[in-house]
Amino acid sequence: MIRDITIGQYYPAESVIHRLDPRVKLVGTLTFIISLFLHRSFLMYLVAAVFLTIVIKASKVPFRFMIKGLKAIMVLLLITVVFNMFLTPGTPFIRIWKLTLTVEGVKQAAFMAIRLAFLIVGSSVMTLTTTPNHLTDGMEKGLAPLNKLHVPVHEVSMIMSIALRFIPILLEETDKIMKAQEARGADFDSGNLIQKAKSLVPLLVPLFISAFRRANDLAMAMEARGYRGGEGRTKMKPLIYQKRDRMAYGVLLGYLAVMILVGRFAPF
């Protein structure tokens, strides 16, 4: 049961977006987020909404998965909206008790809400259509120029992919240790929050010890198979830009241009 969990929120499907190079998706997401903060214009957000809808449709991921991410930040979104509505100075609109709702406030709140929602949905598109390993690969290749600044890009991405591989193993191990301790009378479920947290300490100690042991074993296994860092290493699944990736970059550039133009000249 615990073996079947998926890390991240990858939604397997056969689509153009799924097959895109992870670098394109990373750059695309970044471009999309930046484009949201270029100007404030409702027409611009309409363009962004159309673009996002097309991408979501192309990705073949059901829309409700995109909305899932929004639920998590609902509270944050509400707080932002309420604060913006009441605390922005400007022409009064309605007065409720001591609080003043201003026209500018409502406008500001709407902008904020749209931006946040688009931001979350936009990045969900990336995480839903790319496996974590693919993302790590994309980051390694995409950030390779940082190597010149002595940023250990290869090491960081290796650490990330190993972490991803060991999460299910460690979860299984936690489950095992919990069961073993419960069998000997440990209680993880009752008591208040502090008591519950305290009962986790005897769980963490053996977990940490075993994690270190595993790390040691793994390091030895990697050395035994000739691992000596990123230098001189070839790739089994190298990232090479295909025609569709170049086309995607073109689409992205077009989108950005439209956004800039609309933001500049939009009447509202």
Partner 1 sequence: MNIIKAVKLAYEYKRYGEDGQVEETLRAVDGVDLDVKKGDFVAILGHNGSGKSTLAKQINALLVPTEGTLYVDGMDTKDPEKVWDIRQSAGMVFQNPDNQIIGSVVDEDVGFGPENMGIPTKEIWERVEESLRSVGMWEYRHSSPNKLSGGQKQRVAIAGVVAMHPKCIVLDEPTAMLDPVGRKDVIRTVRALNMVEDVTVVLITHYMEEVIYADKVIVMDDGKVVMQGTPGEIFSQVDTLKKYRLDVPQVTLLAYELKKAGLDLPAGILSIEELVDNLCQLKSNM
Residues that bind partner 1 (CB under 8 A): 3, 133, 161-162, 164-165, 168-169, 214, 217-218, 220-228, 232-238
Minimum distance between the CB of residue 190 and partner 1, rounded to whole angstroms?
32
> In the complex with partner 1, which residue's Cβ is closer, 90 or 168?
168
Q: Compute the distance between CA of residue 203 and CA of residue 86 in angstroms, rounded to an integer.
A: 47
Q: How far, rounded to the nearest angstrom, does the alpha carbon of residue 186 sit from its chain's CA centroid?
A: 36
CB atoms under 10 Å from CB of 238, counted, come to 8
> In the complex with partner 1, which residue's Cβ is closer, 38 or 211?
211
Minimum distance between the CB of residue 51 and partner 1, rounded to whole angstroms?
32
Give the tokens for residue 126: 């990336």
> In the complex with partner 1, which residue's Cβ is closer, 36 or 137?
137
Minimum distance between the CB of residue 186 and partner 1, rounded to whole angstroms?
25
Q: Compute the distance between CA of residue 86 and CA of residue 242 in angstroms, rounded to an integer.
A: 50
Minimum distance between the CB of residue 122 and partner 1, rounded to whole angstroms?
26
Report residue 93: phi and psi, to 5°. Answer: -115, -65
Minimum distance between the CB of residue 158 and partner 1, rounded to whole angstroms?
9
Contact assessment for residue 128 and residue 9, using Cβ atoms and an 8 Å cutoff: yes
Minimum distance between the CB of residue 141 and partner 1, rounded to whole angstroms?
14
Minimum distance between the CB of residue 212 and partner 1, rounded to whole angstroms?
11
> In the complex with partner 1, which residue's Cβ is closer, 28 or 132?
132
> In the complex with partner 1, which residue's Cβ is closer, 55 or 135?
135
Of the candidates 125, 121, 122, 151, the one whose C-alpha atom is nearest the C-alpha of residue 139 is: 151
Q: How far, rounded to the nearest angstrom, does the alpha carbon of residue 146 sit from its chain's CA centroid?
A: 22
> In the complex with partner 1, which residue's Cβ is closer, 25 or 134?
134
